[in-house]
């Protein structure tokens, strides 16, 4: 998986890296789909892992720098440009977006299974462990287990969220966006990035400070630390426990679907309700963003069920279509 890769002209490598970076950036905005899976689908994942390993050991070769630069710049641009749009879609059309997320997630299964090859005892053990771990996170979130995230999160939580997001760039099958949902950091990060973009567009220097220092800086530091740490840790486990490690990744991918039940929506709280550990008053309700509303499951109509199934198939087709592109290398 991370072994030698065939020679490819630098121009073609740069183009593929840019495409993979855009896909990874969009994936990092989407709970349920892994940025690593998108790099794998685009055919640059082994080169990305190899490039990180080289740079973190102070080896600077042109192919590695081209891949890392292309992926990093295009992924960052996609995140900044589309964070606000994705946030609004999730808040306003949750069941639609979650249905699409399920399909995108399931589309990654053949990619990880292809790496894994025939299942053996180690792969089954890893798969069960990964599935149970991710499903437990999903159930904890569904039960409303409190986390220190949300709109009042501090520097450390945004730093931790950056590390969690970095896992999506490295581990095919692990969704950083999904982990951010569990940590209750998904919408606060998208809001911070969108506020940073809007202040930048409007030339509002004073308005840049809060989202830059409070959100972009800690998340960025966490991403850099996470990429360097997780990539080398993944390489270590793949070298020594390949079947078990890939089995865990497969289980994580399946388990992520558990937490993406589409038929839920935000419910406006009332005075006296407890939201994120705080009793709501008339004053605090006015300050509560819609993205922080609690969610509840609802009974879907027949049209919604049919639409959800169609969106799942659409997401599945999109991921598998990208995989066909990446298989041309």
What single-letter DSSP state applies at residue 148?
S
Range from 192-201, 222-231, 287-296 carrying the lowest mean pLDDT: 287-296
The rounded radius of gyration (Å) of the Cα atoms in the chain is 20
**How far apart (Å, rounded) are the C-alpha atoms in residues 100 and 318?**
10
Q: How many CB atoms lie within 10 A of CB 185?
A: 28
Range from 68-72, 100-104, 299-303, 304-308 carrying the lowest mean pLDDT: 100-104
Share of the chain above pLDDT 70, in %: 81
Provide the pLDDT for residue 324: 67
**How far apart (Å, rounded) are the C-alpha atoms in residues 34 and 30?**
8
Query: What's the mean per-residue pLDDT of the chain?
Result: 78
Share of the chain above pLDDT 90, in %: 6
Partners of 275 in the beta sheet?
A: 278
Q: Report whether pLDDT(328) > 60.
A: no
Instruction: Please state whether 267 falls in left (phi above 0), alpha (psi between -120 and 50) or beta.
Output: beta
Contact 38, 322 (CB under 8 A): yes
Q: Report whether pLDDT(58) > 60.
A: yes
Q: Report whether pLDDT(38) > 80.
A: no
Q: Report whether pLDDT(309) > 90.
A: yes
Q: Report whether pLDDT(128) > 90.
A: yes
Provide the pLDDT for residue 242: 84
Q: Report whether pLDDT(243) > 80.
A: yes
Provide the pLDDT for residue 146: 46
Task: Name the burial class of residue 201, with classes exposed (0-12), middle (13-18) and buried (19+) by CB atoms within 10 angstroms of its CB.
Answer: exposed
Q: Report whether pLDDT(91) > 80.
A: no
Q: Report whether pLDDT(174) > 70.
A: no
The encoded tokens of residue 113 equal 């299974």
Q: How would residue 2 be classed by pLDDT, with cut points 50, 70 and 90?
A: very low
Q: What is the mean pLDDT of residues 241-266?
A: 81
Q: Report whether pLDDT(218) > 70.
A: yes
Q: What is the mean pLDDT of residues 183-202?
A: 79
Provide the pLDDT for residue 291: 67
The values of phi and psi at residue 279, to 5°, are: -80, 125
Provide the pLDDT for residue 63: 84
Q: What is the mean pLDDT of residues 197-226?
A: 82
Q: What is the mean pLDDT of residues 55-72?
A: 86
Q: Report whether pLDDT(290) > 60.
A: yes
Q: Report whether pLDDT(17) > 80.
A: yes
Q: Report whether pLDDT(37) > 90.
A: no
More confident residue, 177 or 132: 132
**Model-wide pTM > 0.75:** no
Range from 68-77, 140-149, 157-166, 255-264 carrying the lowest mean pLDDT: 140-149
Contact 319, 108 (CB under 8 A): yes
> At a CB cut-off of 8 Å and minimum separation 6, what does 172 contact?
34, 36, 37, 39, 40, 45, 108, 111, 112, 115, 249, 253
Q: How would residue 39 be classed by pLDDT, with cut points 50, 70 and 90?
A: confident
Q: What is the mean pLDDT of residues 304-318?
A: 90
The encoded tokens of residue 329 equal 């290398």
More confident residue, 148 or 125: 125
> At a CB cut-off of 8 Å and minimum separation 6, what does 93 contact?
none
Q: Report whether pLDDT(3) > 50.
A: no
């Amino acid at each position: 998986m991370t072994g030698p890769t065939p020679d490819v002209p630098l121009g073609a490598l740069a183009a593929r890296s840019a495409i993979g970076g855009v896909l990874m950036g969009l994936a990092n905005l989407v709970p349920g789909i892994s940025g690593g899976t998108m790099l794998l689908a685009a055919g640059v994942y082994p080169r990305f892992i190899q490039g990180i390993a080289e740079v973190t050991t102070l080896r600077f070769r042109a192919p590695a720098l081209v891949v890392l630069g292309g992926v990093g710049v295009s992924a960052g641009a996609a995140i900044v440009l589309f964070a606000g749009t994705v946030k609004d879609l999730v808040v306003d059309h949750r069941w639609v977006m979650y249905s699409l997320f399920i399909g995108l997630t399931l589309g990654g299964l053949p990619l990880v299974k292809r790496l894994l090859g025939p299942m053996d005892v180690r792969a089954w053990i890893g798969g069960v462990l990964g599935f149970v771990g991710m499903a437990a996170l999903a159930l904890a979130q569904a039960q409303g287990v409190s986390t220190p995230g949300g709109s009042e999160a501090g520097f450390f939580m945004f730093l931790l969220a950056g590390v969690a997001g970095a896992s999506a760039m490295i581990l095919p099958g692990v969704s950083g966006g999904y982990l951010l949902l569990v940590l209750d950091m998904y919408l606060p990060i998208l809001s911070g990035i969108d506020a940073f973009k809007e202040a930048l567009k409007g030339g509002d220097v004073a308005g840049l400070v809060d989202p830059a220092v409070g959100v972009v800086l800690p998340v960025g530091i966490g991403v850099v630390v996470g990429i360097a740490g997780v990539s080398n840790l993944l390489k270590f486990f793949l070298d020594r426990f390949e079947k078990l490690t890939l089995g865990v990744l497969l289980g994580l991918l399946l388990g992520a679907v558990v937490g993406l039940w589409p038929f839920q929506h935000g419910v406006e709280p009332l005075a006296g309700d407890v939201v994120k550990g705080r009793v709501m008053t008339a004053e605090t309700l006015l300050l509560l963003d819609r993205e922080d509303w609690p969610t509840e499951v609802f009974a879907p109509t027949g049209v919604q069920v049919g639409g959800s199934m169609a969106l799942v198939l659409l997401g599945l087709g999109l991921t598998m279509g990208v995989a066909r592109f990446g298989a041309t290398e």
